[in-house]
Chains A and B, each alone.
Chain A
Amino acid sequence: MTDEKKKDSILRQIVRDKYSLWALIILLLLYLAIFFADFLAPYSKEFSDRHRAYAPPSKIFTIDENGKLSRPYTYNYKRYFDPDEFKITYKLDRSKKFYLNFFGRGEKYKFLGFIPMDRHLVTVEPEGRLFLLGTDINGRDVFSRILFGGRISLTIGFLALFISFPLGMLYGGISGYLGGFVDNIMMRISEAIMSIPSFYLLIILAAILPANMTSIQRFALIVVILALIGWAGFSRVVRGMVLSIKNQEFVQAAEAIGASKKRIIIKHLLPQTLSYVIVAMTLSVPSYILSESGLSFLGLGIQQPDASWGNMLKEAQEYVNILYRPWLLTPGFLIFIAVLSFNLIGDTIRDILDPKSKMR
């Protein structure tokens, strides 16, 4: 009861704070967008138009050439090759208009993985192309890929949390409760893991992944690797907490009635650390998002043809791309916005749970 009250008030306090309210709204929009990605995206993440690699964002017109209001329409881009400068340029092909359709039929997809659908929020007439944020090197729609990539970038952190935190809790719990020699060895091991620069460890773990994996296997293993980085420091805090509560009466009582060590650790000690664990989990989401994007940016994380915000930025490593195709940088802004929002909410939660700290 009191717990529920507390949770309720945390949410209410987040909503009351101007910054964290905005952060919450932005995150909700982002997660809704990736949930309905199939519907919102005009194309699937595999769709590619080989004749329009690096096409700039489509221009949408609502006023026609006679100055009258019209249904929104767009023109296709036509590719020109400049033989003097060896440059490919795109110009609007104004010969044919393509009107936009809302809730029209497009590529087929399975909503939620099993409901077959083919309606999209915006589609364009056949032969027309609607690239809201331009295309990449393979002529794939950046806007659609951002939506699908968000599915990976914004969820991978949470999935990693569900491995690293139970692992860290159990490890810290066992170490703290058993104490003595076992504790000593276990803590030395976690210390050793913490003394390896975390990013170095991350890339080495990612590099030993075999190359011939399905994308789902790879995704799962990247989650595991991310989880393996964060647990050590966390387990030390849990161990400290367990040390301070293991001599309390309720633990002695459990011991007296003959509860097994496993039961005492799992049923009596670890639940006491839960409130800290939840806060620490919320605060560590952004660092997982950043790690995944960094890893994929280097080409060691999520691989093509799958999209993630990090691996989409990989193309922006070339000067030519960042100078002439700035739309390729949009995933970077999204990572920034997501991390900023998580941080702002994290700050508020910290303020609520520790009113003495004045982070704001």
Chain B
Amino acid sequence: MLNAQLFIYIIKRLIQAIPLLFLVSIISFFIIRLSPVDPLAELRINPSISQETLRAEEKRLGLDKPLIIQYGLWLKSFVKGDLGVSVTGEKVSDKLKERIPNTLLLTSVVIFLTWLVGIPLGIYAALNWKKPADRIMTILTSIGMAVPSFFFALLLLIFAVKTGWFPTGGLTCYDFSTYSPVHKILDVMHHLVLPVTVLFTLSLSGLQRQMRGNLLDVLGSDYVKFARAKGLSENKVVYKHALRNAINPMVTLLGFEFASLLSGAALTEYVFQYPGLGRLILEAVMKSDINLVMASLMMGTLMLILGNLIADILLKMVDPRVSVS
């Protein structure tokens, strides 16, 4: 019964996302076309691009037609899955296919770790409210929230160069393809350590504070007082009654966390030369690679919307009070 309801809800939300994506595409299309740059200028300069490709692109984008029709043409080919060619002559869709999993890998590892560490630390701080441990954690999280991500990344880079313990960039070693499967996994993990550390520190601080605040709020509520008055053990009060209610709002934050990670990851990916979506869009912007910018912007938005949807679904699964309709 609930599953059917949940299914309908998911379908509904997905349908709702379509006009949103449509609007985002209009906004970004016109922002990008505000600049007087010829979208194919870079392609024309590149000698390795054949005349046929150029002509096909001109036709696909309809550059001689008015802007509205250009948008229509772009939309049509986007829906069909044709994202055009990047300035280097590669297909944009291939580039995205290569980069998106990397960004998803980075962000999901970070979210997993922050929850694994942040929730217990938040609980611990709330239970030791205003004691030294809590004070120290508050100071540390203040620091964690104030460090600019790119600056922290630079500092870690110095560390990596000086000690030689960690690779200074990329996701894999140059001879990756010759490695055995186990070695491959270890290699990727080794490369992930530094970027994950940066993003982990940044999002951990926010998560720990939020968890602490939520639990403190719940601990002050009437039903917790009642549970205590009833003579329940402190463990039961905290872990059976208070915690469940304190965690639910955190699930909503998941979508928000994902959004800020996508943004934060862009700078971190840039410093560590990590082959993710954020660095892709940055490079595309700098090379004024219009097709690539537009496509990665849409993909980023799509990921954000899906992230929010997943957070909402999770919330419905853990909190029966939230109605599915």
Contacts and interface: CB of A to CB of B under 8 A. Distances in A.
Interface stretch (A52-60, A91-99, A268-276, A338-346): A338-346
Contacts of B270: 298
B300 A197 contact: yes
A340 B262 contact: no
A300 B305 CA distance: 27
Scoring B146, B259, B297, B301 by chain A CB atoms within 10 A of each residue's CB, the highest score goes to: B146
A297 B150 contact: yes
A293 B267 CA distance: 11
A205 B34 CA distance: 10
A294 interface: yes
A132 to B, nearest CB: 21
Interface in A184-210: 188-189, 191-193, 195-201, 203-205, 207-208, 210
A88 to B, nearest CB: 19
Scoring A196, A290, A300, A313 by chain B CB atoms within 10 A of each residue's CB, the highest score goes to: A196
Contacts of B288: 207
Nearest to A198: B263
Given A200-B263, A204-B297, A357 B31 contact: no
Given A332-B148, A343-B146, A360-B138, A196 B300 contact: yes
Interface in B149-194: 149-151, 154-155, 157-158, 161-162, 168
Nearest to A337: B146
Contact of B282 (A189, A195, A198, A298): A298
Given A193-B27, A294-B148, A319 B213 contact: no
A223 interface: no
A56 B112 CA distance: 43
B20 A313 contact: no
A197 B304 contact: yes
B120 to A, nearest CB: 19
A297 B282 CA distance: 12
A200 B297 contact: yes
Interface string B258-275: 010011101100110000
A208 B217 CA distance: 46
Contacts of B149: 294
A14 interface: no
B32 interface: yes
A154 to B, nearest CB: 14
Nearest to B17: A195
A199 B263 contact: yes
Contact of B35 (A208, A299, A336, A358): A208
A120 B206 CA distance: 43
B211 to A, nearest CB: 12
B35 A197 contact: no
B19 interface: yes
A204 B32 contact: yes
Contacts of A316: 154
B300 A313 contact: no
A87 interface: no
Interface in A293-328: 293-294, 297-300, 313, 316-317, 319, 322-323, 326
A336 B26 CA distance: 37
A356 interface: yes
A322 B157 contact: yes
B266 A356 contact: no
A290 B148 contact: yes
A336 B282 contact: no
Interface in B243-263: 259, 262-263
Interface residues of B, number: 56
A196 B20 contact: no
A286 interface: yes
A207 B20 contact: no
B151 A335 contact: yes
Contacts of A112: none
Looking at chain B's contact residues, is the secondary structure mostly helix, strand, loop, or mixed? helix
A195 B216 contact: no
Contacts of B300: 196-197, 200
B14 interface: no
A336 B202 CA distance: 13
B147 A336 contact: yes
Contact of B301 (A196, A313, A357): A196
Contacts of A201: 28, 297
B142 A343 contact: yes
Contact of A210 (B24, B35, B155): B35
A278 interface: no
Given A188-B20, A192-B24, A205-B31, A199 B148 contact: no
Contact of B20 (A192, A199, A204): A192
Contact of B148 (A293, A326, A360): A293
A28 interface: no
A317 B271 contact: yes
A329 interface: yes
Scoring B154, B220, B305 by chain A CB atoms within 10 A of each residue's CB, the highest score goes to: B154
A210 B301 CA distance: 26
Given A196-B28, A323-B158, A335-B148, A203 B281 contact: yes
B215 to A, nearest CB: 10
B12 to A, nearest CB: 16
Given A197-B263, A197-B300, A329-B155, 12 more contacts: A192-B20, A195-B305, A196-B301, A197-B304, A200-B263, A200-B266, A203-B285, A208-B31, A293-B150, A313-B150, A323-B162, A359-B213
Interface of A: 188-189, 191-193, 195-201, 203-205, 207-208, 210, 286, 290, 293-294, 297-300, 313, 316-317, 319, 322-323, 326, 329, 332, 335-337, 339-340, 343-344, 347, 356-360
25 contacts: A188-B19, A188-B20, A195-B24, A199-B264, A199-B278, A200-B281, A201-B28, A201-B297, A205-B31, A207-B285, A207-B286, A208-B31, A208-B32, A208-B37, A210-B36, A319-B157, A322-B158, A329-B154, A335-B148, A335-B151, A336-B146, A336-B151, A339-B145, A339-B146, A358-B217
Query: What are the nearest 10 A-B pairs in CB distance?
Result: A199-B263, A208-B35, A340-B146, A332-B151, A192-B23, A339-B146, A207-B285, A197-B262, A197-B300, A358-B216
